[in-house]
Amino acid sequence: MLEPGYIYADVEERLKPRLEQYGLISIFSRADQVSHAILTMELQGLEGSATAMPLLFLSIAGVILYILLKRMVEQQRGQIGTLKAFGYTNGQLIMHYLSHALLLGLLGGLLGGLLGIWLSTFFTEMYARFFQLPGLGRELSYRYLWLGIILSLIFCALAGYFGCRHSLRLQPAEAMRPAAPPPGRRTWLEAWALYWSLLTVQGKMATRNLFRNRQRSIFTLIGVMFAFSMMATTWYFRAITDFLIFDQFTRVRTHDLQLSFSRPLSLPAVERELGRFPGVKRFEPMLEVPVTLKHRWQEEDTVILGLPRDAYLHNILTAAGERVEPPADGLVLAEYLAAELGASPEMELIMESYLLEDPIHVTVVDVIPQHLGTNAYMEIHALGRLLGHGSLATAALLAVDEGDISLLRERYRETDTVAALEARGELLDKYRELMASFGSMQYVFAVFGFIIGFAIIYNSSIVSLSERQRELASLRVMGMTPGEVLQVLTFEQWLLSAAGMLAGIPFTITLMYALSLAMASDLFSIPVIVDAEMFIVGLLGTALAILAAQWSLGRRMRRLSMLNVMKERD
């Protein structure tokens, strides 16, 4: 622990000369500890989500509110003109409509903030349990409650202002006249003879109406695209976590047990000790060397893993799944490490280490994908010779029967040579526990995607029904059944949704690449795997949201009174 006012760099050089006489090898700051790096990375990810997700949902809510308020102002056009004739100013009328938006923003922000505080207790308990953070308890944050309310008010105020400003600019005499209906004209889809000939009367009416209200159609299309993308991306992360666990623990790390030594040991001695231990089916040594790799002005701290040429308990794999032999005359780099260094095969790097008297030059032989961790690889004997320390091992990988793991634990429990004994099955269980804990978040995002799709389609439908109820009632009078009249609206929704889902496919792929780059770190990287299954899930989830919205719309349609609608004056 450092006293206030001091940083790591202040004490590092002062500690080294005092501790070298006791066999000091190296000093590491907290920032270089794996546990600190994992927690910091998780907190940075939460910070990014806490910034991006509220802005996304508030933007979509703002669009919905904009559409509703714009329609409300259009419906009350005559009343607005009358009030203006009586002397009410534009500012007074705008404040009247803004009060609707601000009241929604206040109530929504307050309820959302309280719900967020309630949900945060569960996440706090999860993090405290998983990371074993002492003193982490529940705390009511008034700061974030007020911040959520203020953000909600800002978005609602903007949506309300832009939704009502256009109609309020009209002169009183003009405002008291009904608005001219949007023009109907031939669309470019009608030039597609095959498509147009397959449409029913309802389909042709719906197609033309899409182009009569282009702004609303674009908003609906974007909303469906976001809903589709959220559900598809949620399934992508669910599939990718399974892939990462499968890749790491069934293809890369195939050993049953790893013994990490407290200090480098002679390789022949380790082989004599463990290679003949009862129950050990295969033994492979590993040499872990912390180094600093430099290329031009870039440098990265990493660990070189020295492996035998015939290693099968820790595999180096290409993107195609082919094994790569650890080289004796250079390094194999993980993709993320190579990208950070700007290195590629045949390039020379400068390698520094506390085990080296002077920096040396090494050649990059190959670059391979590595999804968990970021390492460089070299043949174990060649690495030992490069360091000038002969054949050494810092860890041993063993293939053993499950029943013999307890024997090895008992044998090396008290020895000061073995620092840690890690079973692959136990590590796999920890990863699964972590993914299960965070898996609930994926379902939350999927639910949000469903709600967004439902809200966008439902609100667009209600506004369209409100605008066209006289037209739809006229169709009933002319002999159409309620189902045939409903098809005019539902066909329009399906056509827009189909375009939104098609646009969502490239948008989702772009989002996946962006998330992969943003979340890549020294600890793990997320591969981009385009799978048809996630698009099918996005399509089904979006279609379900659309059907739910159309079911609600159908109920309103059936309650529509033709007599009252036809009696209304424009």
Q: What is the pLDDT of residues 14-40, one digit of tens each?
A: 888 888 888 777 788 887 777 777 777
Q: Which residue has the tokens 């605008």?
A: 467
Q: Is 567 helix (H, G, I), strand (E, B) or coil?
A: helix
526-533, Cβ contacts within 8 angstroms, sequence gap of 24 or more: 526/240, 526/244, 526/371, 527/240, 527/243, 527/369, 527/371, 529/236, 529/239, 529/240, 529/243, 531/236, 531/239, 533/235, 533/239
Residue 210 CA to residue 189 CA, distance in Å, equals 11
pLDDT at 570: 47
Distance (Å, rounded) from C-alpha 323 to C-alpha 494?
48
Q: Buried b / exposed e across 514-527, counting CB within 10 Å, b at 16+? A: ebeeeebbbebbbe
pLDDT grade, residue 505 (50/70/90)? very high
* The predicted structure's pLDDT at residue 506: 92
Task: Report the DSSP pairing between strands 298-307 and 280-295.
Answer: antiparallel
Q: What is the mean pLDDT of residues 528-532?
A: 82
Query: What is the rounded distance in angstroms from the CA atom of residue 353 to the CA atom of residue 236?
Result: 40
Are 147 and 130 in contact, with CB atoms under 8 Å apart?
A: no
Question: Which residues are 302's β-sheet partners?
Answer: 291
- 84 CB-near residues (< 8 Å, 6+ apart): 90, 93, 171, 172, 175
pLDDT, tens digit, for every residue of 28-74?
888 777 777 777 777 777 777 777 778 878 887 887 788 778 777 77
Top pLDDT among 83 and 379 is at: 379
Q: Residue 175 and residue 85: Cα distance in Å, rounded?
A: 10
- For the entire predicted model, the pTM comes to 0.70
The terminus-to-terminus CA distance of the chain in angstroms comes to: 77
For the CA atoms of the chain, what is the radius of gyration?
33
- 357 vs 351: CA distance, rounded Å: 11
Identify the pLDDT of residue 245: 75
Q: What is the band of 523 on the pLDDT scale with cuts at 50, 70, 90?
A: low
Which residues have CB under 8 Å from 319's CB, separation 6+?
A: 368, 369
Per-residue model confidence as pLDDT tens digits over 343-373: 999 999 999 887 888 889 999 999 998 887 7
**3-state SS string for 251-311:** HHECCCEEEEEEEEEEHHHHHHHHHCCCCEEEEEEEEEEEEEEEECCEEEEEEEEEECCCC
What integer pLDDT is reported at residue 183 of this predicted model? 63
289-292 — which CB contacts under 8 Å span 24+ positions? Answer: 289/353, 289/355, 289/383, 289/387, 289/394, 290/26, 290/353, 290/354, 291/351, 291/352, 291/353, 291/376, 292/351, 292/352, 292/353
> Would you say 326 and 293 are in contact if contact means Cβ atoms under 8 Å apart?
no
Q: How far is CA 166 from CA 160, 163, 459, 570, in A?
A: 11, 7, 21, 20
